[in-house]
């Protein structure tokens, strides 16, 4: 097997996906059967600078090069081969955000990530103008807010893009984006798979009095659907990705996609009535729609699959950050007693312990708000843990409350879709770090949504693998083969996930927790307004 894999690497019968997550940049190389054969990652953290959540350009490039170098070193260690070529490459990142460049290609303000909740005025006005919900984190909201603020750079904008669009542009010279990510920059017309022309005209008319010297369509990246060629790695790009000089130019590159799109791919959830929940630093759930929603909801975003089908999304800024912080407290406790701590075992032990807790968490309450949450109406957040003197305060209930809290805002959003809109979903697939401990996060999500939840064997691979699959699809698809068929026939054929049906008592317990969650939101509000912490 290793000889065959080595030959595949030498002959470029591979595909590489690299995804920039909130806390980790991951690179996964897949072989001819689209299974991972080498990987590498790099940890990083966003910074709050001058009230803006951001990553520096230096962080972006050193992180990318380190993740790639570790993947290449993994391949070298396993197969005794240096990577000189790859069949295709694709880049993914956290959706949305704002990166404006001038004609010289210079970034004019620090990268504004999806995590920022600083565009409320723009979001509100554009939602009213378009009669279409424009979330605060979308690129167009950031752009219009900069215009409302009369920021000095707005007249010099030549190009705006998102993180993966920036990486792709720098490595290929092409100013393009996958349609799924495009739909998180500006509303997309499901028929043309391109930016909604009517809304583009409305926006241009709105800003015309400013005489900025540009039209919106001229500064947005071109929208491409999955499978289209998005350029190739340039000589300069090859050196940026692999400073050792071993990687050669000319490698085909597929349209860069957001983490929502890669999440859909790696859970095989791109057909109508399929859905998935991605749970990591942030958590979001998506359902591919059979038809448009009855009305626009502030709590629900409408984006697209990488092929351009409409998707309803409940996006929540916070998921595992507070959980991770608590697990690290237990790590410190163990180390204070001189114990060597295996983090995977620690997570597994604490998560599994939560299964012993009361179905409603014994009256305990937690808010994991490191940052604001649009769905529940918070522009900023404070992590909180609450209990009364009568609460059943145990380790099991403590962990269960924090795990429930990680899904609390998602439940609020999904209740709108499933209960108010009556959206039908046949299958919800979970992926991301929250589902690594078998049966825990999965059973709680099933309880939160009152729906069967499937976790695939590839759930832990996440979006980097999904991006590698999109790269593979571009070069390996047969004539007329849709992405849906490619996934069903060549990626997930014969692969069985583990499905958990919702437990009625768990559903009741989560509903009780959710009612208490909503009732205690004024406590979170008081913490924010009084600048607690």
Q: What pLDDT digit, counting tens, does each position of 258-307 carry? A: 998 998 998 889 999 999 998 888 898 999 998 888 888 888 999 999 99
Structure tokens at 47: 């910074």
Q: What pLDDT digit, counting tens, does each position of 351-389 carry? A: 999 999 999 999 999 999 999 898 999 989 999 999 999
Q: What pLDDT digit, counting tens, does each position of 126-167 carry? A: 999 999 999 998 999 999 999 999 999 999 999 999 999 999
Question: What are the phi and psi torsion angles at 326 (to 5°)?
Answer: -70, -40
Q: What pLDDT digit, counting tens, does each position of 57-87 carry? A: 999 999 999 999 999 999 999 999 999 999 9
The pLDDT of 442-449, averaged and rounded, is 95
Q: Is residue 226 part of a domain?
A: no
**How large a percentage of the chain has pLDDT more than 90?**
83
DSSP 434: G
Q: Is residue 227 part of a domain?
A: no
Q: Which CATH number does the domain housing residue 1 bear? A: 3.30.420.40
Contact status, residue 498 vs residue 455, Cβ threshold 8 Å:
yes
The packing angle between helices 321-336 and 395-406, to 10°, is 150
| Statement to judge: residues 107 and 239 lie in one domain | no
Q: Is residue 167 part of a domain?
A: no
Structure tokens at 354: 């939560």
Domain range holding 2? 1-90+233-257
DSSP 228: S
Q: Say how many Å lie between the first and final Cα of the chain, rounded.
A: 55
| Statement to judge: residues 197 and 106 lie in one domain | yes
| Statement to judge: residues 326 and 309 lie in one domain | no
| Statement to judge: residues 454 and 371 lie in one domain | no
Regarding beta strands 384-386 and 427-431, do their DSSP bridges make them parallel or antiparallel, or are they unpaired?
Answer: unpaired
Tell me the pLDDT band of 397, cut-offs 50, 70 and 90: very high
Q: Is residue 368 part of a domain?
A: yes
Cα–Cα distance list, 325 to 332, 347, 479 (Å): 11, 12, 49
The pLDDT value recorded for residue 370 is 93
Give me the chain's average pLDDT, please.
94
Q: Is residue 270 part of a domain?
A: yes
| Statement to judge: residues 67 and 154 lie in one domain | no
Tell me the pLDDT band of 403, cut-offs 50, 70 and 90: very high
| Statement to judge: residues 6 and 42 lie in one domain | yes
Q: Which residue, 431, 436, 361, 432, is CA-closest to 403? A: 361
Cα–Cα distance list, 278 to 70, 259, 292, 353, 521 (Å): 25, 9, 23, 23, 24
| Statement to judge: residues 74 and 1 lie in one domain | yes
Q: Is residue 133 part of a domain?
A: yes
The pLDDT of 431-460, averaged and rounded, is 86
Contact status, residue 225 vs residue 179, Cβ threshold 8 Å:
yes
How many Å apart are CA 210 and CA 207, to the nearest integer?
A: 6
| Statement to judge: residues 335 and 394 lie in one domain | yes
Question: What are the phi and psi torsion angles at 53 (to 5°)?
Answer: -75, 125
| Statement to judge: residues 471 and 510 lie in one domain | no
How many Å apart are CA 255 and CA 96, to the nearest integer?
A: 16
How many Å apart are CA 238 and CA 236, to the nearest integer?
A: 6
Q: Is residue 178 part of a domain?
A: no
Per-residue pLDDT at 458 exceeds 70: no
Per-residue pLDDT at 309 exceeds 60: yes
How many Å apart are CA 327 and CA 403, to the nearest integer?
A: 12
Per-residue pLDDT at 406 exceeds 60: yes
Per-residue pLDDT at 439 exceeds 70: yes
Residues sharing a CB contact under 8 Å with residue 105, sequence separation 6 or more, in sequence order: none
| Statement to judge: residues 327 and 462 lie in one domain | no
Cα–Cα distance list, 129 to 142, 151, 204 (Å): 16, 22, 12
Higher pLDDT, 142 or 495: 142
Q: Is residue 171 part of a domain?
A: no
Burial 494-529 (b: 16+ CB within 10 A, else e): eeebeebebeeebbebbbebbebbeeebeebeebbe
Tell me the pLDDT band of 460, cut-offs 50, 70 and 90: low
How many Å apart are CA 373 and CA 380, to the nearest integer?
A: 7
| Statement to judge: residues 105 and 209 lie in one domain | yes
Question: Is residue 402 exposed (0-12), middle (13-18) or buried (19+ Cβ within 10 Å)?
Answer: buried
| Number of domains making up the chain | 4
| Statement to judge: residues 400 and 440 lie in one domain | no
The pLDDT value recorded for residue 282 is 86
Per-residue pLDDT at 1 exceeds 60: no
Residues sharing a CB contact under 8 Å with residue 107, sequence separation 6 or more, in sequence order: 57, 99, 100, 101
């Amino acid at each position: 097997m290793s000889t065959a894999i080595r030959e595949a690497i030498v002959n470029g019968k591979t595909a590489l996906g690299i995804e920039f997550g909130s806390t980790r940049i991951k690179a996964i190389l897949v072989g001819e059967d689209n299974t991972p054969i080498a990987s590498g990652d790099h940890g990083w953290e966003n910074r709050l600078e001058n009230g803006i959540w951001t990553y520096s350009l230096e962080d972006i490039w050193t992180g990318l090069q380190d993740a790639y170098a570790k993947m290449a070193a993994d391949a070298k260690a396993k197969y005794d081969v240096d990577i000189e070529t790859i069949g295709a490459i694709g880049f993914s990142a956290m959706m949305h955000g704002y990166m404006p460049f001038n004609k010289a290609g210079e970034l004019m303000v620090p990268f504004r990530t999806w995590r920022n909740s600083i565009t409320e005025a723009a979001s509100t006005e554009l939602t009213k103008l378009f009669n279409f919900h424009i979330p605060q984190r979308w690129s167009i909201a950031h752009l219009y807010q900069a215009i409302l603020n009369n920021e000095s750079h707005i007249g010099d904008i030549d190009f705006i893009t998102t993180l993966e669009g920036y990486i792709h542009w720098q490595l290929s010279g092409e100013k393009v984006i996958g349609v799924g990510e495009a739909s998180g920059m500006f509303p997309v017309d499901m028929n043309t798979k391109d930016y909604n022309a009517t809304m583009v005209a409305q926006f241009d008319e709105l800003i015309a009095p400013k005489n900025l010297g540009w039209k919106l369509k001229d500064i947005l990246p071109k929208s491409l659907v999955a499978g289209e060629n998005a350029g190739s790695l340039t000589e300069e790009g090859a050196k940026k990705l692999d400073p050792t000089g071993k990687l050669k130019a000319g490698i085909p590159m597929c349209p860069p996609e957001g983490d929502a799109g890669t999440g859909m791919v790696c859970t095989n959830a791109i057909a109508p009535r399929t859905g998935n929940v991605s749970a990591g630093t942030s958590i979001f759930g998506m359902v591919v729609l059979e038809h448009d929603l009855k009305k626009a909801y502030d709590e629900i975003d409408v984006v697209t699959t990488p092929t351009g089908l409409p998707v309803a999304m409940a996006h929540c800024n916070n998921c595992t950050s507070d959980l991770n912080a608590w697990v690290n407290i237990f790590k410190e406790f163990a180390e204070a007693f001189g114990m060597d701590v295996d983090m995977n075992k620690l997570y597994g032990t604490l998560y599994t312990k939560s299964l012993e807790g009361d179905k409603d968490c014994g009256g305990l309450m937690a808010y994991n708000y490191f940052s604001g949450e649009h769905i529940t109406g918070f522009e900023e957040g404070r992590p909180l843990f609450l209990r009364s003197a009568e609460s059943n305060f145990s380790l099991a209930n403590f962990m269960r409350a924090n795990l429930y809290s990680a899904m609390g805002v998602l439940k609020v959003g999904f209740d709108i879709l499933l209960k108010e809109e009556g959206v039908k979903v046949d299958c919800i697939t979970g992926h991301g770090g929250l589902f690594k401990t078998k049966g825990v996060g999965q059973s709680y999500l099933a309880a939160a949504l009152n729906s069967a939840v499937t976790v695939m064997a590839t759930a832990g691979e996440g979006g980097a693998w999904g991006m590698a699959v999109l790269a593979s699809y571009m070069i390996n698809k047969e004539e007329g083969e849709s992405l849906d068929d490619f996934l069903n026939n060549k990626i997930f054929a014969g692969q069985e996930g583990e499905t958990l049906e919702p437990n009625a008592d768990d559903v009741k317990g989560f509903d009780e927790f959710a009612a208490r969650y909503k009732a205690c939101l004024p406590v979170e509000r008081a913490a924010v307004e009084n600048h607690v912490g």
